[in-house]
A = this chain, B = another copy of it.
């Protein structure tokens, strides 16, 4: 503050400020443990004034979640240039940045937080999964995926979620290792599917065509061959 005068905020500005304050608190501790009093105090306003902008904690929680969901979906955006493995690796780094920044809130949400079961919350989580799914298809340059590819992509997204959740529980494995591992897991799940289905085989060959000889996929294949021998 450079002046002693506290500027009066407009309604939307105040709402956005409260969402930011709440999201910050929900990111540090489980939302169940954060009270409206704390949010009011952190925002420098009274408790009744919080209720003036949000009828209850659930509506403030859902608004914070909406902002977090937009933030996360935004991090999936990646230019469609260069090897696929490198693109996915960069997205994984931003995904773990997000998980790192919002640890307790992310865990609480995905493990069944205060608003889970609310249809608004479930719809938000699904919208982020759908954004991830569509991004991956766009990078693979596939508009109408066969059922087996849809399964590989969607089940890998859930694998990425659970890997992040397990990482948050103690952080016993360096996150950079898990970011690389998830890129390899994607290739491995696609390869398992391709091993038993010709259409997936052709898709996988197309996907890997432009991967460099020193890229993550070539590295993995080399290591797997060494492991098998």
Contact = CB atoms under 8 A, between A and B. Distances in A.
A155 B163 contact: yes
A223 interface: yes
B191 A224 contact: yes
A85 to B, nearest CB: 13
Interface in A77-134: 111-119, 121-122
A144 interface: no
Given A158-B159, A228-B221, A166 B191 contact: no
Given A180-B196, A191-B188, A223-B195, A162 B173 contact: no
Nearest to A180: B196
A195 to B, nearest CB: 4
A192 interface: yes
B180 A151 contact: no
A155 to B, nearest CB: 5
B154 A166 contact: yes
Q: Is the interface of A mostly helix, strand, loop or mixed?
A: helix
B162 A148 contact: no
A195 B191 contact: no
A185 B118 CA distance: 33
A204 interface: yes
Contact of A188 (B170, B178, B188): B188
A223 to B, nearest CB: 4
A201 interface: yes
A178 B147 CA distance: 12
A181 interface: yes
A57 interface: no
10 contacts: A117-B117, A147-B170, A147-B173, A154-B166, A155-B162, A177-B196, A181-B192, A181-B196, A188-B189, A188-B191
Interface of A: 111-119, 121-122, 147-148, 150-151, 154-155, 158-159, 161-163, 166-167, 170, 172-173, 177-178, 180-181, 184-185, 188-189, 191-196, 201, 204, 220-221, 223-224, 227-228
